[in-house]
Amino acid sequence: MPHTVVILAYPGCQLLDVSGPWQVFASANDLSGRELYRLHLAADAPGSVATNGGLPLLADTAWSDLASLGPLDTLLVAGGRGIVTQRQRPALLAALRDQARQVRRLGSICTGAFLLADAGLLDGHQATTHWRHCTELASEYPKIRVVPDALYVESAGRFTSAGVTAGIDLALSLLEADHGSTLAGQVARELVLFLRRPGGQSQFSEVLRSQNRAQGALRKLLDRLHADPGAPHRLEGMAESIGVTPRHLSRLFRQQLATTPGAYLTRLRLEQARLALVASERSPPLEPLARQWRLGGAEQLRRLFQRHYGISPSLYYQRFGPKGPVATATATTPRLSNDG
């Protein structure tokens, strides 16, 4: 029998939170030549739903009438700025609690995790959300064990994912669990995606946070560092490139990024080493990897991994490498904004 998958939408939801996972399941149907997934979009009522980008979606089911669809296999809640209003609706929260008692898999994309949290459905579970809101989720819901660097997390039938495109990563993992890696790999190739994207969401948050916070000449310098982190960047050369003294450059880093030029460059290079590690078919030797990214030697690279990621390079590779587990690909923070 096909898996019945329902995605919950609402005014102001993030379009890609809905369309991304939907396309993964739809492509599985197309490529297999069978109806593996029966897809439904639920909202307040059947009809048009305006997303936060203005493009409407067409819901076929009211969330109050989900029982008419028969047993649900998977229910996913989209994120987006409209989630703030949805969190204030007791009837919707009660409906989610009712579905949680029957659905096999209950999950969320991005800030949709807050709706599940409001319903008490993530208490005692591990969960994640968009990197911008992880601290907020942990603060508001101390019973949830927030995993800030996760792309997605599975915890006893609860599935949560990070921002926007991470919903696609989550859907691919659900497809692989249902129908194996061959079909999931075919879908990933068809959609031009990683089956298991390397790294966690901190690879995005660190870059985005720094580039967004930096201003003027420092912003231009960061663009150059990110473009070629393995180059022999020296303090004097970096300062000269933007027309300041080394002392003033250090002051700019402290004022705008709360770090030093050396520490920032080390973290940037460590991110590149991490990506190279998980992209390798076999665990690469650490010594040449450390030399490639100017991180000293193998022992220093091990210490940096432990300090920044809380895990050794070898264990990180086992968990996130090409043959690692797919279920927990596993980086604060205004109030909920426009993030999916």
pLDDT value of residue 222: 86
pLDDT tens readout for residues 152-201 = 888 989 999 998 899 999 999 999 889 988 899 899 899 988 666 655 55
Cα 283 to Cα 333: distance, rounded to the nearest angstrom: 35
E strands of the chain, at which residues?
Answer: 3-8, 37-43, 47-50, 56-59, 61-62, 74-77, 105-109, 126-127, 145-146, 152-155, 158-161
Burial of 58 (0-12, 13-18, 19+ CB in 10 A): exposed
User: What average pLDDT does range 262-269 have in this prediction?
Assistant: 91
pLDDT value of residue 328: 38
pTM for this prediction: 0.64
3-state secondary structure at position 98: helix
Catalytic residue list: 110
pLDDT tens readout for residues 87-120 = 999 999 999 999 999 999 999 999 999 999 999 9
3-state secondary structure at position 105: strand
